[in-house]
């Protein structure tokens, strides 16, 4: 079972970054998502011994992690420039697909992006 933990462990507003930990690939260890205000979120996968390898996966900055669809894995909700608020669902192995977006101007419409 995936470890559900999403917690900001480092936040430095002056430097414009923070780190979240969650098991995004479902292997039972905590992975790290490093959000930097100057670029997208970088994902570092844990090998189970505390050694991290940067993933090819990148996500927009300013994200919140949690199990949005109650399937036991960690999904992500974030603000995406030009779109608004977006959610992406995890397939349980760290592969994410767009699921939902909401325009950020006013309550106009909801889009399913899949
Ligand atoms: Ca993991
Ligand atoms: Ca989920």
pLDDT digits (tens, 9 = 90+) for 50-79: 999 998 887 766 678 889 999 999 898 887
User: Do 33 and 43 form a contact (C-beta atoms < 8 A)?
Assistant: yes
Ligand nearest to the CA of 89: 2
Please, which residues have CB less than 5 A from ligand 2, an ion?
67, 69, 71, 73, 75
> What is the whole-number distance in angstroms between the Cα of residue 2 and the centre of ligand 1?
8
With the C-alpha atoms ordered 104, 107, 113, 114, is the resulting torsion angle positive or negative? positive
Q: Is the pTM of this model over 0.85?
A: no
Q: Using alpha carbons only, give the angle 43, 20, 24 rounded to the nearest 5 degrees.
A: 55
Q: What's the pLDDT tens digit per position in 23-36? A: 989 999 999 988 77
Ligand nearest to the CA of 92: 2
Q: Give the separation between CA 74 and CA 83, rounded to whole angstroms.
A: 22
């Amino acid at each position: 079972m995936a470890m559900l933990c999403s917690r900001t462990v480092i936040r430095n507003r002056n430097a414009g970054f923070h780190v979240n930990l969650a098991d995004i690939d479902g292997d039972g260890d905590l992975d790290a998502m490093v959000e930097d205000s100057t670029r997208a979120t970088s994902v570092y996968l844990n090998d189970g011994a505390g050694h991290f390898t940067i993933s090819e996966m990148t996500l927009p900055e300013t994200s919140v992690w949690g199990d949005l669809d109650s399937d036991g894995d960690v999904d992500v909700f974030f603000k995406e420039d030009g779109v608004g608020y977006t959610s992406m669902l995890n397939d349980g192995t760290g592969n994410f697909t767009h699921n939902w977006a909401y325009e950020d101007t006013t309550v106009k419409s909801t889009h399913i992006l899949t």
